[in-house]
Amino acid sequence: DVEKRKKSVISLENLRKFVGQPPHTSDHLFPNGMPPGVVMGLAWTHLGGKTLFVEVRGQVDSSFCDAPTASPGAAAGDDAAGPGGEPSEDRPPGEEGGEGGGGGNQQRSPGGSGARLKVTGKLGKVMGESSDIALTYARLFLREVSPPNSFLDEARMHMNMPEGATPKDGPSAGVTMTSALLSLALGAPVRQGLAMTGELTLTGKVLRVGGIKEKAIAARRENVGMIVLPMSNQADYLEIKPHLRAGLTAHFVDHFDDVYRLAFADSGAPMLHGSRGSEVVTVVTPADEAAPVPITLPPRAAGSPEALPATATAAA
């Protein structure tokens, strides 16, 4: 019977025939590059990490614009969580948050003459407050890097976080929302292959968030090469085994000045002179960290029935 069995060769071409369709599809909405105003965020969910985008459009006159003179685009957000495999709230253990729920179709004008920001995406209370902080800080920051640019003070803007049926909450979308608004106002895209997470204060401080391991794994799954994380999460990141963060470059910051510099490097956006934060800490994990590492074993006594070869292989 064994001789009559048909031999099968499994390859990438026929793998789906044996194991079925892949269970995971990419969350990357912009495989060919993010336009101005779009920033990739990182979210924690009950089923693991996830990358999320937020789109922001804006108008000063009567029509929406994609690449402004003082400029509109699309923005990116961070965190989510949901029931039954869907993210339901982006507040992992150790991350503070408020009540979830509201957040859709709300209009708020946190300052400025005619500017107005509408936020949708089934956001909770904490995430809705993060959008207010993001707009206030983005306005002040824009006056520092580009004083003539008054887009954020005049435009009517709409920030949306896709997957509207999925509830989202938590403060860690702060740096992402702010970067998206600045990208929109400056008409400059953020660096490709970049994702970020971190709570932002009104003074530009970047605070600790939760779910770092899950977020790092999500970034690696989506082939993101660079992530920006809060300085106070450095220990959490280093606890992740090297093979789980192989190929990632993580930058740890404690002020938005450095988030901006990393996100808009080589984009043509105006740069600040210096930083109000601590020195950026960068951790590079080579892609080959996931490869087996050869080790040398001590020699066994001659004639031993359990003698092993002089070398073996162990997983990193």
Task: Kindly list the catalytic residues.
Answer: 172, 215
Q: How far apart are CA 291 and CA 285, in angstroms?
A: 12
Question: What is the DSSP annotation of 237-269?
Answer: HHTS-GGGSTT-EEEEESBHHHHHHHHHTTTT-
Task: Give, for 137, the enclosing helix (H) or strand (E).
Answer: helix 125-145
Sequence letter at residue 47: L
Of 122, 180, 121, 123, which Cα lies nearest the Cα of 152? 180
* Residues in CB range of 149: below 8 A, 6 or more apart: 70, 71, 142, 185, 186
Question: Is 162 buried (19+), middle (13-18) or exposed (0-12) by CB count in 10 A?
Answer: middle
Strands (E), the chain: 39-45, 48-59, 106-108, 116-120, 156-160, 194-196, 199-200, 206-207, 226-230, 249-253, 281-284, 293-296, 311-314
Burial code (b: 16+ CB inside 10 Å, e: under 16) for 46-65 equals eeebbbbbbbbbbebeeeeb
Using CA atoms, how far apart are residues 76 and 52, in angstroms rounded to an integer? 7
Angle between helices 256-264 and 125-145 (to 10 degrees): 70
Q: State the Cα–Cα distance between residues 204 and 39, nearest whole angstrom.
A: 18
Residue with tokens 């071409």: 13
